[in-house]
Amino acid sequence: MSTSQRRPWRGAPAEQRNGVGRRPGRLLVGVVAAGAGAAVAFQATAGSTPSAASGGTATIQLSSAQQSAQQSAARRATRNVLAEGRQTFRFDTFGDEAFWGDTLNLDAAIAGKANGGVGPGVSPKTALAVGLKVDVAALPVALRTQIKQGKVDLNDPKVTLALLRLNSVVGVKGFFDARGNLRSVGIQCALCHSTVDNSLAQGIGNRLDAWANRDLNVGAIIGLSPNLQPVAKLLHTNVPTVHKVLNSWGPGKFDAQLFMDGKAFQPNGRSAASLIPPAFNLRGVNLVTSTGWGSITYWNAFVANLEMHGQGTFFDTRLDNKKQFTIAAENRFGHTRAKVDRITPKLGALQAYQLSIEAPKAPRGSFDPKAAARGKMLFSGKADCARCHVPPLFTEPGWNLHTPGKIGIDSFQADRSPTHMYRTTPLDGLWTHRKGGFFHDGRYPTLHAVVQHYNSTFGLHLTSAQQNDLVQYLLSL
């Protein structure tokens, strides 16, 4: 979000700053800001207000009560924007149920034949096994007690339908008809970018918005769809091949570029999918994806339109490049416009909410404080990490991209983006997404492996003890 306000007094001509050429009287300039709102109040102590005709400067006189009212209004507006953004992040499908439910018929697979769908249905046990989460706050107290006491049959798809009716499945929305039958299903931002604290049971707890859900097996979930023919047609392949691709992703990964270029596997045979990233700690970060597609608002629009398959508007003429983005260019994805735009009006508040989410602090006892203190000195010293991971953003202020050669890795994923480069990853909250590995595709299983890679690539000559200290510092962020 941008906030416009008047140029501060420091930008005024020198003669005005020094009082030259002004009428007698003192002009006080106060800036009142709260969240996304800003107000500039001018209070004059002179007896009368100079008129425009006399060449004087007009002033606005605000009482303390008026200034207080402005501050309250700004705070109220900020709270409303953040509440709207949280609602969008957690619960808005942007109309994508038309794709996931009405086209792919994922709802039928969830319900199962016994409940008006097809197949065995999806039980809570199965749903939790593929990484779906349940929001404990949406469950009645009696149901929480029954779950804790083991009195709920987690092998029954009917229980899954009940959880959907309660709107408790994180990132998934069920749509029911008048008779209570599941008729469609949609997904939300929170599906990939939220998890829970497991406070009631494994996979059932309080929401942790913006955390990467590294348990989520997106490919397995999509693979449940009875009708994958539209996906096969889009990719110019067959349904068995689509299943092969989806099964290759595994937990915590998703291939956002597949519908752009149709590349399902790397040259080495590994899946082309990338790790699901966290969506917190993005204030001040320029490009927010691993290969720098765009800003947070750009990526929200990209995902909501082209990945979630919501109904909205999206423009990016870079996708017209037929050589690089064969699928996107053929289908003119860079010129998307729905009859009713259910995405664009939500982007501002959604961005504000995401920007408000701080990185979670590392739990006490999860790292060695003394080693972390030594690692901090190495980070800005011998290891030279701070050259790119500039504190406190821990990415470059400004252009935060590097060529693959500069960081010592291959260009496959970079070449799937318009930039052909990799972004410097912000590091705050790194401890929350260790599962699945590091870098865009999880190629390094541990932080030790990451440090060893840079130690070798840049010839840092860090000892094993120093490498361990650096890891402990990274875990402390």
Tally Cβ neighbours within 10 Å of residue 166. 15
- Residue 67: predicted pLDDT: 85
- 443 has pLDDT over 80: yes
The pLDDT of 367-377, averaged and rounded, is 98
296 class by beta-carbon count within 10 Å (0-12 exposed, 13-18 middle, 19+ buried): buried
Alpha-carbon span 447 to 432, nearest angstrom: 12
Distance (Å, whole) CA 292 – CA 408 = 17
Distance CA 423, CA 293 (A): 9
- Residue 56: the pLDDT is 53
Is it the case that residue 49 has pLDDT exceeding 60?
Answer: no
- Least reliable range by pLDDT among 29-38, 49-58, 375-384, 430-439: 29-38
Question: Could you report the per-residue pLDDT of 236-262, keeping only the tens digit for each?
Answer: 999 999 999 999 999 999 999 999 999
What's the number of CA atoms in the CB half-sphere (13 Å) around residue 473? 22
**CA–CA separation, 11 and 453 (whole Å):** 48
Number of neighbours of residue 56 by Cβ within 10 angstroms: 15
With beta carbons less than 8 A apart as the criterion, state whether 198 and 206 touch: no
Query: Rounded to an integer, what distance in angstroms lies between the CA atom of residue 94 and that of residue 412?
Result: 32
Q: Tell me what pLDDT residue 17 has.
A: 35
pLDDT of residue 61: 77
In tens, the pLDDT along 222-238 reads 999 999 999 999 999 99
Q: What mean pLDDT is reported for the chain?
A: 90
Residue 70: pLDDT band (50, 70, 90) is: confident
- On whether the CB atoms of residues 32 and 38 are closer than 8 A, the answer is yes
- In the chain, the N- to C-terminal Cα span, in Å, equals 26
Residue 37 predicted with pLDDT over 70: no
State pLDDT tens for residues 269-278.
Answer: 999 999 999 9
Q: CA-to-CA distance for 109 and 101, rounded, in angstroms?
A: 10
Segment 376-406, tens digit of pLDDT: 999 999 999 999 999 999 999 999 999 999 9
Tens digits of residue pLDDT in 139-186: 999 999 999 999 999 999 999 999 999 999 999 999 999 999 999 999
Least confident of 12-16, 27-31, 185-189: 27-31
Q: At residue 332, does pLDDT exceed 80?
A: yes
Q: Whose CA is closest to 279, among 182, 215, 351, 202?
A: 351
Rounded Cα gap, residues 331 and 260, in angstroms: 9
> Residue 301: how many CB atoms within 10 A of its CB?
24
The whole-number average pLDDT for the span 53-62 is 61
Average pLDDT over residues 355-370: 96
Report pLDDT for 335: 98
With a cut of 50, say whether residue 51 has pLDDT above it: no
Give the residues across from 335 on adjacent strands: 315
- Please report, to the nearest 10 degrees, the dihedral formed by the alpha carbons of residues 436, 439, 440, 443 taken in order: -60
> How many residues would you count in the chain?
477
- Rounded Cα distance, 342 and 346, in Å: 7
> Do the beta carbons of residue 402 and residue 422 sit within 8 Å?
yes
Residue 36, number of CB atoms within 10 A of its CB: 18
Going from the C-alpha of 459 to that of each of 13, 453, 462, 463, the distances in angstroms are 52, 10, 8, 12
**Token reading at 233:** 């047609």
Residue 35 has pLDDT above 50, yes or no: no
Looking at residue 63, its pLDDT comes to: 85
The share of the chain scoring above pLDDT 70, in percent, equals: 88
Mean pLDDT of 416-436: 97
Mean pLDDT across 349-369: 97
The pTM (predicted TM-score) of the whole model is: 0.85
